[in-house]
Amino acid sequence: MSAVYDWLLASASSHEPVQGVLLGLNWTLAESAGGCGFAFSPRQVPRTLGWAGTLAGRPAGELRPWLRSWDAAEAAVGLAVLNAGINARSPCLGEAMPLRGAAPGHLRVFEHFRAQLDGQRVAVIGHYPGLERLWHDLDYQCLERNPQDGDLPDSAAEFVLPQADWVFVTASSLANQTLPRLLELSRQARVVLMGPSLPWLEGWRDFGVDYLAGVRVLDAAAAYRVVAEGGGTRLFAGPVEYALLALNP
């Protein structure tokens, strides 16, 4: 597991201070190195966080290692700070193709790949609201840590992923420490690593990732407001847009 995290932390070289961190209901946002980075917020956060009010002004290099923490709030902060530094300067993001279409913004990745999935065994890691309507004609399996109707528990990954032809993996699995195992189980599949939590790095291909589908920030101030006001999929309605880069076409 440590290889992925060692590589990610070594890829972030910015020592600039963190301007601010916002731990929202759905997204965690960090501002650093002239950019903003996201992570999916933990579902449960203690009422007392010993570091609350102390993060702004601290060096980014001091907070990035929190990504390794088993404390969900610390891991979200670490990932958001990591993304703020990497994604602000990423050549990969500059090469990525914006995804525009008829589907709601948070579902554009699934809309883009739909035509390639007929007759394929498809697994999606993470519950995406509205996907069941967009892919109503496709037989796929959704694995989710907090399962909703029709989802499988994330423990089913050990059985489902080795049989899949395509796997769509939420990058938020970085913060809960499950991504390395998910990628290992998906070695035989075409893998799309996706979501606002994605660090835009070409080296993902060395871990079996075929496509990067992360976000490009269009309006940082609007993104801050959406996160501050508890927004989830609303983030994709103007503040950010999905973009796609093929690593192994």
pLDDT tens digits for 65-96? Answer: 999 999 999 999 999 999 999 998 899 999 99
Give the chain's domains with CATH numbers: 2-89 (3.30.390.100), 93-246 (3.40.50.11590)
pLDDT at 150: 86
Q: Which residues fall within 8 angstroms of residue 91, CB to CB, at 6 or more apart?
A: 202
Instruction: Give the pTM.
Output: 0.95
pLDDT at 48: 87
What is the distance between the alpha carbons of residues 245 and 226, in angstroms, rounded to a whole number?
26
Count how many residues are written for the chain: 249
Which residues of the chain are under the pLDDT cut of 50? none
Q: Which residues fall within 8 angstroms of residue 112, CB to CB, at 6 or more apart?
A: 99, 101, 244
pLDDT at 89: 87
pLDDT tens digits for 182-201? Answer: 999 999 999 999 999 999 99
